[in-house]
Structure 1
Amino acid sequence: MSTSPTAVPEEASIDSLRDAFSQSHNAVQWLARMVRSFRSVNAGEDVALHWDDERKAFVTDEFAEGLKMELRLPELTLQFLEHGQPVKHELQMEGRSPAQVEAWLLVELLHRGLDRSRFSKDLPYDIPNAMAGDNVEYSPEFREGELKKILAWFTAAADLLKNIARKSSGKDDDPSRLTLRTKDFSLDASVALLGQAQPSPGDRQICVRFYPLRAGAVDPHYLVSRTEPTATAPDIFEIIKVSGTTADEIAGAKVAKKIADAVAKLQKLAAQ
């Protein structure tokens, strides 16, 4: 196998990476289930999580008083957070089946005085290669190298998205958070239109979204879109393809320029 950093991985490497993505995508659904079980969420929508760069984790919003939950990469560890602080009894998912993960969650809910009967595994969407029951296990130790690559992808993409959001706002301390969409495993940031303050949900805005997958296949790319609040105005978008799988190829200067150019074009169109 070639060791060139720009080489396209052989099929065996692609299969291994696809399996690691599948495991992490499945693991993220436990966060989505927790939010949907204890918060009012629109029936047809996926759940928006947030990226914590310091802890290398996807994190829920608060779903009970002072309570959140995170999934850390690359080890696929679930942990509750109370008032922002990690609590004891984390779950390392190595060798655990989905049924065992569910049992751990139910015990943790009991310890925190939450009604376990509210917890539901049901989701309003399907994901590729969904894991369920006792016949399949998470294996992050076996896929350690691939999961570290996934972490590098998300870290690089997160840095790029944050930089784009800061430049568009003109503020180095821009407070916008990065959002992970649990259905398609995409990471996105909102970008203000020209002359617009930090956009709020429902505003006209530009969204830059990083997709590591397409229909369950490893296919890293970005989607730059301008959303419109009215149903009669269609979204306008541009797809930015990524040529390789290293962190620099995922979010290096060449990709950053293509995205910045697409954002600038959509901002000008919106101002007309």
Structure 2
Amino acid sequence: MIKKDIDKRGGILLEALPYIKKFWSKIIVIKYGGSAMKDKNLEKQILKDIILLKYVGMKPVIVHGGGSEISEEMKKRNKTPQFINGLRVTDEETMDIIEMVLIGKINTRLVAEINLPISEGPGNGVKGIGLSGEDAQLLTVKKHQISELGLVGEVENINPEILMILLEKNYIPVIATVGVDKEGVRYNINADTVAAQIAISLQAEKLIFLTDVDGIFKDSSCPSTIINSLDINKTKELIELGCVQKGMLPKVEAAIQALQGGVKKIHLLNGKCPHSILLEVFTDSGIGTEIIY
């Protein structure tokens, strides 16, 4: 290996050092979903990156969605997915499908990957544990104000106790976004909103949204107009101007809620970009869009 390559690699490690020190023992909440979930090789790489955060002293918490896999399962059962304002209309049969896919399929898959032995998978001995909002009253919800949505809930209360216990015992919690109301009725909940509320309840250092695009743009048709850093007022202004649209809108609205609730910083990253989490957390230039208060 030539000296130039050695110096470059050494420089990368040294660049990461102050960030490792700064974020030691800090809680990092990661919302995982979208297109990155469709590519299983990419999924393994994302989990490796999250596990690296754990090994350098951070406390990652994963909140996952699974919209595309839910829609695929619905179509197999001859049910047509319907949405109102980006939220899935959820009857009892759809709720059963959501639970099966989120808890029985995706959540168990992610946890199994994290827990694979050192020689077989990304986990390298790290312990992952799966949860849903039904566990230890983690997510108490109320019925959404749009009654036509059916069994869609809004977060009413977070009980972070179980998460704090697991983090202290060095587990990586992996949370499926199903919750219950005070009568025990199960509800589907928007994963972006859950991630924000979980981050608030834990007073997380960072909330990272893995999205399908590189970040927020001044002009969505021009990638060169990506905005690297925003404060909360400028973010609200961009929403009013229509620069934040479609699937990015609920993430940005959740980001604003998280900042107002005490979360230090929000990152919107393209989950399809290799090692996007590591590039954002451990490098000076970062990647994607960050939002601060």
Normalised by the length of structure 1, the TM-score is 0.27
Q: Relative contact order (alpha carbons < 8 A, sep ≥ 6): 1 or 2 greater?
A: 2
